[in-house]
Amino acid sequence: MLIQLTIENFMSFRDEVTFSMVGVSSDRQHADRLIEDAAGKGRSVVPIAAIYGANAAGKSNLIEALSFAKELILEGTRSNRSIPVATFKLGDYSKKPSKFEFIFTHQDARYSYGFKLNKEQILEEWLHAIPPGKRKEVMYFERITSLDKKTTVDYGLPLTGRSLKRKQFLEFIAEGTRPNQLFLTEGIDRNVESLFPVANWFREILTIIMADSIFASLESTILSDISFTDFLSKFLKLAGTGIDKVGGGTVELDFDRHLPGMPQVDRDKLLQKFSGAHANSILMIEDNFGKQYLLLKGEDSLIKMIQLVTQHRHENGNLVDFAVNEESEGTQRLINLIPALFVLQEEEKVIFIDELDRRLHPLLSRLFVKTAIDCRGKNNQLIFTTHDTNLLDLDLLRRDEIWFVEKDRQGSSNLYSLTEFKTRPDLKIEKGYLNGRFGAIPFFGNPESLGWHSQNRDTAMETNEH
């Protein structure tokens, strides 16, 4: 579970800001929702958080920061390439370091991992942890790379044990770690097993869903997981989309219509693969955007594409098939979000969604959040950005589950929680927010300053005179 995230000098976040999932123990509203002791020393963690703010306030930049750090950790960098870190642009900050730090729990251990960097190199990097069953935090490693690009790493017993051979191996890895590469990434590549849980948290647990994301393996999951298909069908029906059931259908492959961006050489290779394949053979391919497609060789030797099919009830009672692109944009968006609800039932997931309410009716957004709260597993969390003030309701969310992002006059984003304000239990949070009580809303100038009103009046007068 995510406990805390800290960011500094990245995109619109000029100064250090901290986003925390630690609950306020004194707040007994929805107290049964808290995950006790998850943050250590008797502290609790909340399972959900909503992040509000005006357009361009920095909500999506928080998601971008997560995405940047995750990709840097898991994918690393190339030799002699600059690190694509986007520093704060409204000032002289391009040479100043950016900072990222994650505090999280995984497999009964509590980790604190972070790094400071600029475009040229990793300046600092650290990993500390409280191992399972222990109370004291121990160092795994601390790395410093000097301005002349010499790297030194100090190791703790969790990495070296008491083995001289293991320490020598780690020193070999440190020596081979490029200045623009994270030691964690290099250690994973070199099979340092003690670092695997940390990498696994970023790879498997931390899930980021951008505003325009699609669930790439939708068709394959429907084919392979009956429980997912049932969950998807039931939620779409509950949401009033008019969809009665979902399933998989096939259509003859038309490269120009279905895969227009595929080069001819790749089309030829695909046809060659299927030429010697048995009937009913299935092949999965992926385009440059990560979208997956399932292809099937039929009994008639024709190549067919397996597609998601939605079924609506005809007036005569029969089911009628629809292609997904025949559904509304809101329904398509919902279909790509429902998998997040499904996996929240699993043992451990931390899911970030940017613009949850995009193309969704406010009541549908509320249904989604209520379902996420009700059906989540023990160690799962959902964090989302939104403009939907319908969710600002203390009957739905705790005060420590509501966050705001606001830019100051210098264009720097600040991040703060509703718990920083004194509020009564019966306060209408939505009304207070729209009235500007908590900030993080747009402030408009006077429309008459644009001259449109006077221009329209002058035009009307000229028209009347003629």
- Residue for token pair 């970023």: 202
Closest CA to 337 of 227, 232, 225: 232
418 within a domain of the structure (yes/no): yes
199 within a domain of the structure (yes/no): yes
Q: Name the burial class of residue 1, with classes exposed (0-12), middle (13-18) and buried (19+) by CB atoms within 10 angstroms of its CB.
A: buried
- The residue type at 172: F
pLDDT digit string (tens) for 298-324?
Answer: 888 899 888 889 999 999 999 999 988
Q: Where are the beta strands (DSSP E) in 131-233?
A: 138-145, 151-155, 206-209
- The residue type at 31: A
pLDDT at residue 453, rounded to an integer: 58
393 within a domain of the structure (yes/no): yes
Residue 156 has pLDDT above 60, yes or no: yes
**306 and 364 fall within a common domain:** no
**36 and 149 fall within a common domain:** yes
**424 and 296 fall within a common domain:** no
Residues 6 or more apart from 320 whose CB is under 8 A from it? 311, 312, 313, 314
Confidence of residue 458 (pLDDT cuts 50, 70, 90): low
**Residue 312 and residue 283: Cα distance in Å, rounded?**
29
**194 and 100 fall within a common domain:** yes
**290 and 144 fall within a common domain:** no
456 within a domain of the structure (yes/no): no
pLDDT digit string (tens) for 24-64?
Answer: 988 888 988 888 777 777 778 999 999 999 999 999 999 99
Tell me the torsion sign for CA atoms 28, 352, 245, 332.
Answer: positive
- Residue for token pair 């994301």: 213
305 within a domain of the structure (yes/no): yes
* 48-53 and 402-407 beta bridge pairing: parallel
**136 and 228 fall within a common domain:** no
pLDDT at residue 235, rounded to an integer: 96
**364 and 322 fall within a common domain:** no
386 within a domain of the structure (yes/no): yes
**198 and 71 fall within a common domain:** yes
Q: Into how many domains does the chain fold? A: 2
- Residue for token pair 């009665």: 244
pLDDT digit string (tens) for 253-285?
Answer: 999 988 888 999 999 989 988 888 888 888 888
62 within a domain of the structure (yes/no): yes
347 within a domain of the structure (yes/no): no
pLDDT at residue 320, rounded to an integer: 93
Look up the domain containing 290 and give its range.
218-330
**174 and 45 fall within a common domain:** yes
pLDDT digit string (tens) for 408-422?
Answer: 999 999 999 999 998
**Residue 14 and residue 4: Cα distance in Å, rounded?**
18
**79 and 187 fall within a common domain:** yes
CA 176 to chain centre: 32
* Higher local confidence (pLDDT), 445 or 394: 394
- Residue for token pair 């264009």: 411
What share of the chain has pLDDT > 70, as a percent? 95
**377 and 281 fall within a common domain:** no
**200 and 222 fall within a common domain:** no
